A and B are shown apart, each in its own frame.
Chain A
Amino acid sequence: MMLRLQDVTKEFRIGAFGGKSVTAVRSVSFDVVPGEVVSLIGESGSGKSTIGRLILGLNPATSGSITFDGRPARAGKEYYRHVQGIFQDPFSSFNPVFKADRVFTMIKESYYPAVPEPEWAGRVRASLRDVRLNPDQVLGKYPHQLSGGQLQRLLIARALLLDIKLLVADEITSMLDASTRIDVLNLLAELKTRGLGVLYITHDLSLGNYLAERTVVLRKGGVVEMGPTDAVFGDPLHPYTRELLSAVPRLHEEWVDPAPVDSCLYHARGASGGLLEAEPGHFVACAQLESC
């Protein structure tokens, strides 16, 4: 087991004096094993990025545990050698004062000081080509001189320069055109066969489906359904999962609103507390969407 989240909860205090709080993540448990892509889907504000930040140690969890290879996940140079994150908004990862390719130099300085400069330059260029960037077009430019999709790919290229075992990818393909997106996904799929584990946060269900072995569906901070991707997509048990699937824009069809579900599988099977394992490896929460 590589990454394991057990009963992870995160509360944020909000307001000027921290008087109120929001529960962004609620008792979430799942694993990511080497060579596996797990996609994390759910509505806006459901806690996806928060989970990503917790895994990367950028925020502490309020309760529960997150372990990587058996040890508690803790921010730091050693941890980041194996675990990298790429975030929703690529601009926030760049310092506007410096050229964008400084992100590569920083990796070299911290992790590969002994690698000779020409060899390093070669690795950077190869990594850029892997994400379909033309090195001559992007090296030596400032962040504002690059388009959103170009910056996003620069960050993917940076993560690939490290010998990472786990990548937390938060909406990394959402700003890429369909063709570049497929190239990046195929690249992730290739890395996966070499043992990389990926937590692929996405709202694009067709992309999640294309790539992921397992899917976790999140709503209001809690898991409503999870299991093998073909089970979750092929036989969605939770009304929220069905709603998501019906909202996917399809090229040749109009949107249809899903039929309401009147019975709750969870209660029908007499489950209580936690998720119901409806079939092996396929878990579902109560359809009431509130705790019961």
Chain B
Amino acid sequence: MSLQVSELRVHYRTLKGEVRALDGMSFELADGEILGLVGESGCGKSTLGKSLIRMDGRMHHVGGRVVLDGRELPIADDRKMNDFRFREVSLIPQYAMSALNPTRKIRRMVTELLRSRGTTVDAAELERRMNQVGLPREVLDRYPIELSGGMKQRMVMVISTLLDPSLLIADEVTSALDVSTQKAVARALLGFRDSGYVKSMIFVTHDLALTHHIADTIMVMYAGKLAEKASADVIVKAPRHPYTRLLLDSLPEVGVRYAERRLEGIAGSPPSLLDPPKGCRFRDRCPLAGDECAEEPPVVEIAPAHHVACWKA
């Protein structure tokens, strides 16, 4: 068992109060598994990623544990986490393209980063991995501003995995890429796993079709909580949570046009995480909501490895 997250609660402190961005998340990730993480914008996906690697000043660990390869991650202790970053857990942040230092050429940046981790660059290996994501070696001699959004994104991907972390969290890494590069990068990520550069992966994305292609399991979050988790096929073909179903219904496949058939998003908006309502958080928007939904639905394993938090699943 590679990653176990239990009852994880991480909040942001703000002047108005606590934003409960992760409000009791539990899940597991096996060795070699790729977990796709989807959910409405603002539901806590990036917060989950950041919690496993570096909490920013306003985040705080309210409860729960994270165990990686049998060792507890000291997620609340920024200094102790240094031993784990890059080597055990690595994050490719959302908007990684703006995370690059603009004053350094890529080669120098890689060298400095590795030096700060006490190792040196294996140039051949670096180029081999760049090649795997379709980047020519000339990119090393450029400044970030001289690269397109997608090129920077792929460069960060290579850098983040150079030290072969056990767990890689990829936050929206393919969102900025055209479909053919996306396909290449998705295959490269699978390759990273198959070549053992990374053991397991959390792949955060809004693209359900793409996740379905590369993830073994898909986890759907809603408003800081787990809504549903199952094998990728089950989520796509036989989802049980009303939110998952509506999300799948709002996907445009190639061929659907506004002028001919208007797709609809899910009416309403998610609850504020500052003071989330009691009971099921999807209640206001759920077509199936009933009286029992005033009580919070527990996460139940309704079939082997299929977890759902809904009274009516």
Residues of chain A whose beta carbon lies under 8 Å from any beta carbon of chain B: 12, 14-15, 22, 41-46, 49, 88-92, 132-134, 136-137, 140-141, 144-150, 153, 171, 174-183, 185-186, 189, 203-207, 209-211, 229-230, 233, 243-245, 247-252, 254-255
- B138 CB to closest chain A CB, in angstroms? 9
| Neighbouring B residues of A43 by C-beta, 8 Å | 150, 178, 180-181
- B15 CB to closest chain A CB, in angstroms? 8
Which residues B1-44 have CB closer than 8 A to chain A?
12, 14, 16, 19, 38-42
Q: Is B69 an interface residue (CB 8 A)?
A: no
Q: Which residue of B lies closest to A218 (CB)?
A: B178
| Neighbouring A residues of B207 by C-beta, 8 Å | 249
**Does A203 contact B182, Cβ atoms closer than 8 Å?**
yes
Q: Which of B153, B209, B250 contacts A251 (CB under 8 A)?
A: B209
| Neighbouring A residues of B98 by C-beta, 8 Å | 89, 91-92
| Neighbouring A residues of B143 by C-beta, 8 Å | 14
Q: Which of A141, A229, A249 contacts B183 (CB under 8 A)?
A: A249
**Does B252 contact A210, Cβ atoms closer than 8 Å?**
yes
- B55 CB to closest chain A CB, in angstroms? 13
Q: Which of B148, B206, B213, B255 contacts A255 (CB under 8 A)?
A: B213
Q: Is B302 an interface residue (CB 8 A)?
A: no
**Does B272 contact A136, Cβ atoms closer than 8 Å?**
yes
Expressed in whole angstroms, the Cα–Cα distance for A180 and B181 within the complex equals 24
| Neighbouring B residues of A153 by C-beta, 8 Å | 41
B143-172 contact mask (Cβ, 8 Å, vs A): 1 or 0 = 100111111011000000000000000001
Q: Which of A141, A150, A249, A250 contacts B41 (CB under 8 A)?
A: A150
Q: A136-B272, A248-B254 are in contact. Are A175 and B172 (CB under 8 A)?
A: yes
Total A-B Cβ pairs within 8 A: 189
Interface-centre pick from A146, A148, A254 (highest chain B CB count, 10 A): A148
- A261 CB to closest chain B CB, in angstroms? 15
| Neighbouring B residues of A45 by C-beta, 8 Å | 147-148, 150-151
Expressed in whole angstroms, the Cα–Cα distance for A150 and B41 within the complex equals 7
Beyond contacts A144-B56, A179-B250: 4 other A-B pairs, Cβ-Cβ < 8 A, are A147-B42, A171-B175, A174-B176, A233-B254
**Does B177 contact A203, Cβ atoms closer than 8 Å?**
yes
- A222 CB to closest chain B CB, in angstroms? 15
Expressed in whole angstroms, the Cα–Cα distance for A209 and B142 within the complex equals 35
**Does B179 contact A247, Cβ atoms closer than 8 Å?**
yes
Q: Which residue of A lies closest to B42 (CB)?
A: A147
Number of interface residues of B (CB under 8 A): 67
| Neighbouring A residues of B266 by C-beta, 8 Å | 179
**Does A179 contact B246, Cβ atoms closer than 8 Å?**
yes
**Residue contacts A-B, CB under 8 angstroms, 12 given:** A43-B181, A45-B151, A49-B148, A134-B272, A141-B14, A145-B12, A174-B175, A176-B206, A178-B208, A209-B254, A209-B255, A249-B207
| Neighbouring A residues of B258 by C-beta, 8 Å | 185-186, 189, 210-211
Q: Which residue of B lies closest to A230 (CB)?
A: B257
| Neighbouring A residues of B206 by C-beta, 8 Å | 174-178, 181
| Neighbouring A residues of B252 by C-beta, 8 Å | 182, 206-207, 209-210
**Does A176 contact B41, Cβ atoms closer than 8 Å?**
yes
Expressed in whole angstroms, the Cα–Cα distance for A189 and B176 within the complex equals 22
**Does B41 contact A88, Cβ atoms closer than 8 Å?**
no
B222-250 contact mask (Cβ, 8 Å, vs A): 1 or 0 = 00000000000000110000000011101
- B38 CB to closest chain A CB, in angstroms? 7
Q: Which residue of B lies closest to A14 (CB)?
A: B146
Q: Which residue of B lies closest to A147 (CB)?
A: B42
Expressed in whole angstroms, the Cα–Cα distance for A251 and B239 within the complex equals 13
Task: Enumerate the 5 nearest inter-chain pairs by beta-carbon distance, A residue then B residue, closest first.
Answer: A149-B41, A44-B150, A203-B178, A183-B265, A179-B265
Expressed in whole angstroms, the Cα–Cα distance for A150 and B46 within the complex equals 13
| Neighbouring A residues of B265 by C-beta, 8 Å | 132, 178-183, 186
Q: Which residue of A lies closest to B207 (CB)?
A: A249
| Neighbouring B residues of A252 by C-beta, 8 Å | 236-237
Interface-centre pick from B154, B248, B258 (highest chain A CB count, 10 A): B258
Q: A145-B14, A206-B256 are in contact. Are A249 and B272 (CB under 8 A)?
A: no
| Neighbouring B residues of A136 by C-beta, 8 Å | 272
Q: Which of A144, A209, A249 contacts B257 (CB under 8 A)?
A: A209
- A290 CB to closest chain B CB, in angstroms? 17
